[in-house]
Amino acid sequence: MIPAQFDYVAPASLDDAVALLRAHDGEAKILSGGQSLIPMLKLRLATPALLVDINRIPGLAYVEERDDDGGGLHIGALAREADVDASPLVRARYPILHDTVRVIADPLVRTQATVCGNVAHGDPANDHPATMIALDAHFIVKGPGTVRVIPARQFFVGLFTTALAPDEIVTEIVVPRPAPRSGGAYLKLERKVGDFATAAVAVQLTLDDTGGVERAGIGLTNVGGTPIAATAAESFLLHKPLDDETVAQAARLAALAAEPTEDRRGSAEYKRDVVRVLAARALRIAARRARGETHDVPNATAAGGA
């Protein structure tokens, strides 16, 4: 397919980019990596009057840890998936993010796709949203004369719909620095390498001195109209040891939070069971990482028993 006609501008600053969005009143789209937007243009699922290419704006391609506001990982609007993949800091301190990046599409896509674009697209099948929910990340959003901070759990409001206004841009993702004895994991079942998930689960845990759960974050991918926070499972885990019974019940509660529909990837019942299996596996991996035992994640393309 050939995209519909559109105008193209490459502004030199974020202020200029925001002004262009405002002037076109919902008829403009931001182009960063373009790995989601360009296919939609070709299929005419998106027909913007203007593309605002932000790739020439300096200072937005960073993946770095800072000590301000309690400390955390800052990912700029032009940081590519490949930048996160290659970061020793991410691998060592934020392994759940490394898990997530490694199962997104293929290496060619990851050299162009941006992390901020992945979340701003609002696709429940994208991988980062569930991970950002599990991590309690927040998004820095710039609009005309304003900067907003939107928690990941409040950002995804509907299918391909986010809390962004038409004249706002996600300029940065901030992931809180994990507390001591923290660990996470992202596991995904896909029909083939590079595919969207049949279902996927993100888990981030912090353990207390006795091995009980001090904090739990659980996000689900592609089993509803938005990425889902499995809040009942999170609450159930608090102050409990991660024994087999606790893990199994938390995994069942995570599966109950899923709202899948039947499609070529499977029935709704099957997808819920995939969530259950992956949640149990991810909880065990996250716990091992929190205890400093391992950073390895097994291949999740075949969901056997929990």
Give residue-wise pLDDT tens across range 248-279: 999 999 999 999 999 999 999 999 999 999 99
Distance CA 225, CA 104 (A): 19
- If pLDDT is split at 50, 70 and 90, which confidence band does 298 have? low
Using only C-alpha atoms, what is the Rg of the chain?
19
Could you tell me if 54 and 37 are in contact, meaning their C-beta atoms sit under 8 angstroms apart? no
Decide: residue 217, CB within 10 A, 0-12 exposed, 13-18 middle, 19+ buried. buried
> Which 3 state secondary structure label does DSSP give 46?
coil
Nearest to 206 by CA among 279, 291, 138: 291
pTM of the model: 0.94
Distance CA 54, CA 33 (A): 9
> What is the predicted pLDDT for the residue at 122?
94
Distance CA 105, CA 57 (A): 26
Confidence check: pLDDT of 295 > 60: no
- If pLDDT is split at 50, 70 and 90, which confidence band does 302 have? very low
> What is the predicted pLDDT for the residue at 68?
83
| 146 residue type, one letter | T
> What is the predicted pLDDT for the residue at 44?
92
With pLDDT > 70 as the criterion, what percentage of the chain qualifies? 96
- If pLDDT is split at 50, 70 and 90, which confidence band does 80 have? very high
Maximum CA extent, the chain: 61
- If pLDDT is split at 50, 70 and 90, which confidence band does 301 have? very low
> What is the predicted pLDDT for the residue at 296?
66
Q: Which sign does the torsion angle of CA 216, 302, 273, 152 carry?
A: positive
Which stretches of 25-145 are DSSP H helices? 37-42, 81-86, 88-93, 95-102, 107-112, 115-120, 128-135
Overall size of the chain counted in residues: 306
271-292 per-position pLDDT tens digit: 999 999 999 999 999 999 999 9
Mean pLDDT of the chain: 94
35-54 per-position pLDDT tens digit: 999 999 999 989 999 999 99
